[in-house]
Amino acid sequence: MAQSNYTEDNIRSLDWKEHIRLRPGMYIGKLGDGASPDDGIYILLKEVLDNCIDEFVMGFGKQVEINIKDGVVSIRDYGRGIPLGKVIDCVSKINTGGKYDSKAFKKSVGLNGVGTKAVNALSDNFKVMAVREGKAKEADFEKGVLVKDHRVKKTTEGNGTLVSFVPDASIFKNYKFRQDYVENQLWNYAYLNAGLKLKYNGKTLVSKNGLLDLLTRKTNPENLRYPIIHIKGHDIEVAVTHGNAYGETIHSFVNGQHTTQGGTHLNAFREAYVDTIQKHFNKNYDRRDILASIISAIAIKVEEPVFESQTKTKLGSTDIGPNGPTVRTFLKNFLNEKLDNFLHINPTVAEAIEKRIKQSERERKEIAGIKKLANQRAKKANLHNKKLRDCRNHYNDKSKKVTEENKLATTIFITEGDSASGSITVARDVQSQAVFSLRGKPLNCFGLTKKVVYENEEFNLLQHALNIEDGVEGIRYNRVVIATDADVDGMHIRLLLLTFFLQFFPDMVEKGHLYILETPLFRVRDKQFTFYCYSEAEKQEAIAALRGKPEITRFKGLGEISPDEFKGFIDDNIKLEPVVMPEGTNIEEILSYYMGKNTPTRQKFIINNLRLEKDEDMDDDGVKDVEQLEGAAA
C-alpha cells in the first residue's frame, strides 16, 4: 500500500480571504454563471443590499441606488454610513460588524458579520466609501487585498455607504447578470419595505401595498378565482388567492430575505392555512385539495433568525424570538383569527375557495385508480435501470436519502433518442448529473387533465424520475434540463416538454428548476485551432480567425457530438437558458396560442418568422438542409 507523509507541513492556516476564495460555496452557495436566480453573483448583490435594507428598517435612508454597467456593480444607500474608523474592518475582518448588538439590529437580515467580506474576497475589484456628517472614508481592494487606504476627506455628499465591485471572472466563469433576475430581486425588497425607493439603472421601483402588490404583479387577474386576500399583523403579512393552474406557488420571506427554499415558517403557514380552512367550513377537507392551485406570499419578522446556510435561503428558527411563541403557533393564531374573520365578512370569497377545493377533490378521486396502476407500471419498468441513469449524489448513504446539499448540486438532462442520451451519459459527471431518455415524441397535453400524466407511459415515468408526483417540493434535482437536437424536430419535442411542465407543474418554472441546454451548432477548425459556435455570427467570426481553409461541421443532433467533445459542453462551462415566465404570464393563453388548434393568427406568425439558413455542409445528395424554424418557441 502506498504511504503518504502527514507532518506539521501539511497543516495550514488560511486567512479570511483565502478561506472564502478556496471554499466560496460555504459563503454564497453555488457559483453558476447567472443563468439561475440563486447563482453566486446575485448573492453578492444581495449581501450588499441587505445592509442597505437594514438601515432603512432602522429608520435611516429611504432610497438606494443600484447600477450595473460594463460589469461593475454599484450600490449607494443613504443610511448612517459605516463609522469611518471601522470602514476597512467592516469589509475585511471576518465576524466584524454592528449587528451583534441585538438592540441596534433586533430583526436584521445579516447577523454573521460575513456578507460584505465574501463580496470583497470574491471580487476582482472592490471599493467602499462611507459618508458621515460631511466626511468621507474610502478603501480599495483587489480579491480581498487592501490596495489603497484613502485618507478621510471632507465632502458635501449625504450620509450613507457606497459599495462597488466587479465579480472575479476566475471564480464566476462566463457570468452574466440577467436583468429580469436582478429586477425581480429588487422588487422583492420593494414589496417587503413599503415606501423604500430603489433606483436601478435609472428605473424607479417602489411599493405602497407590500405583498398585495407582489401578488398583483406576479399574477394575471383573469386567472384568479377571487380577489387577493391581504391581511397584516405585528411582524407578519400575508397575501393569498387561488388560480386555475396546477401546483402551488408560495413566496416566503423572513426579515426581508427571500427564503427560496422555505423553512419552518413556510411549513407553518401551510399547516395553519389548512387548519383555518378546515375549521371555517367545519369539514375535514384533504390538505392536498386545500393547497391545490394556491398562490400566496408570506413575510414574517424573527428576532435573531437562524438560517440553514450563509445564503439565508431556508429558515431553521423554531421560535419568533427569545420570549415569543413558536413560529408554528404564531402563524396558526394569526390565520385562525385574521383569515377566518375575513372569510366570514366576505362569504363570496369563501364560496370560491370551497368550490376550488371540491374541484380538486373530484379530480384527485377520478385519477386515484389510474394512479395506482401507473405506479405499478413504473415499478415494473425498472425505472432506475432503463429510462433513468441516476447520479451518485442521490445515493450517498444506505438510506438513499437525498439531502438538500446534494440536491442543490444535481442536474438531470431530458434527452431524445438513444444516441443523444448515450453521448450525454458517457460525458456527464456521474456524481451530480443524471440522464432521462425519452422514447419518441411526447404527447401534446395542452388542454388535457392530469389524468393524462398517469395514462401516458413517458410522462408517468418522467414524473416518477423527478419525484414531482405530490408536488415540486420533493423534486430530486435542482436543475431539470431539456436537451434536444438543434433542428425542427428537436424544437418540436422541446415545445411538447415545455407544454407538459407548464400545464401540470408551472411551479417548476416559478422556482427556477427548468432550463434549456444550449449546444454548439457548428464546429469550425483547421490543423491548429478548433472553435465551437452557437450561432451563424460566431461561425463567421471563427472562419475569419483561421488562416487556412476551415473544416466546418454542422451538428444536427446531439448524438453527432462525440462524448469527449460533449464533456466540454456540460461541465463548468455549461450554457443553460433558464425557462422564465414574465410577471403576470397567462399560461393558458400562451399554450393555447402555440399548442392549441391551428389558428390563422399562428399561421401568420409562422409565415412571417420563417427563415431558411444555408448550411455550409451539403448533404450527400447536394441538397441544403432547412436549418431552423425560428420564432415558434419565442
CA distances to 141, 286, 291, 436 from 314, rounded to whole Å, are 31, 26, 21, 29
Which is higher by pLDDT, 400 or 265?
A: 265
Of the CA atoms within 13 Å of residue 132, those in its CB half-sphere come to: 12
Q: What is the pLDDT of residue 106?
A: 56
Tell whether the model's pLDDT for residue 371 goes beyond 80.
no
C-alpha 446, offset from chain centre? 25
198 strand-pairing partners: 64, 205
pLDDT at 337 over 90: yes
- How many other C-beta atoms can be found within 10 angstroms of the C-beta atom of residue 484? 25
Residue 66 pLDDT > 60, yes or no? yes
Residues of the chain above pLDDT 70, percent = 86
Weakest mean pLDDT among 174-183, 527-536, 552-561, 597-606 = 597-606
Output DSSP code: residue 62: S
pLDDT for 284 beyond 80: yes
Higher pLDDT, 59 or 101: 59
According to DSSP, residue 152 is labeled P
Dist CA 459 CA 438 (whole Å): 9
Q: What is the mean pLDDT of the chain?
A: 84
Which of 119-133, 145-159, 382-396, 503-517 is the least confident region?
382-396
Domains of the chain (ranges; CATH) run 17-205 (3.30.565.10), 211-365 (3.30.230.10), 368-519+556-596 (3.40.50.670), 522-554 (no CATH), 600-634 (no CATH)
In this structure, are residues 496 and 458 in contact, taking their beta carbons and an 8 Å threshold? no
Task: Give the DSSP letter string of 529-583.
Answer: -EEEESSHHHHHHHHHH-SSPPEEEE--SGGGS-HHHHHTTSSTT--EEE--PPT
The pLDDT value given to residue 11:
58
Distance CA 491, CA 556 (A): 12
Mean pLDDT of 210-228: 91
How many whole angstroms separate alpha carbon 617 and alpha carbon 551? Answer: 9
pLDDT band with cut points at 50, 70 and 90 for residue 8: low
Q: Which residue has the higher pLDDT, 207 or 547?
A: 207
Give the β-pairing of 123-132 and 160-167.
antiparallel
Mind listing the pLDDT tens digit for each residue in 398-435? 445 556 666 677 999 999 877 778 888 888 999 999 99
Given this model, what pLDDT does residue 96 score? 58
pLDDT in tens, 463-481: 988 988 878 888 889 899 9
Which of 36-40, 66-70, 385-389, 485-489 has the weakest average pLDDT?
385-389
Confidence of residue 158 (pLDDT cuts 50, 70, 90): very high
The closest alpha carbon to 43, from 62, 24, 68, belongs to: 24
Strands 514-517 and 433-438, by their bridges, are: unpaired
| Buried residues in 538-571 as b, exposed as e (16+ CB within 10 A) | bbeebbeebeeebebbbbbbbbebeeebbbebbe
The b/e string for 14-48 (b: 16+ C-beta within 10 A; e otherwise) is eebbeebbeebeebbbebbbbbbbbbbbbbbbbbb
* Pairing, β 249-254 against β 236-242: unpaired
Average of per-residue pLDDT across 368-395: 73
pLDDT band at 309 (very low <50, low <70, confident <90, very high): low
- On the question of pLDDT at 381 being above 70, the answer is no
Question: Averaged over 58-70, what is the pLDDT?
Answer: 92
282 against 591, higher pLDDT: 282
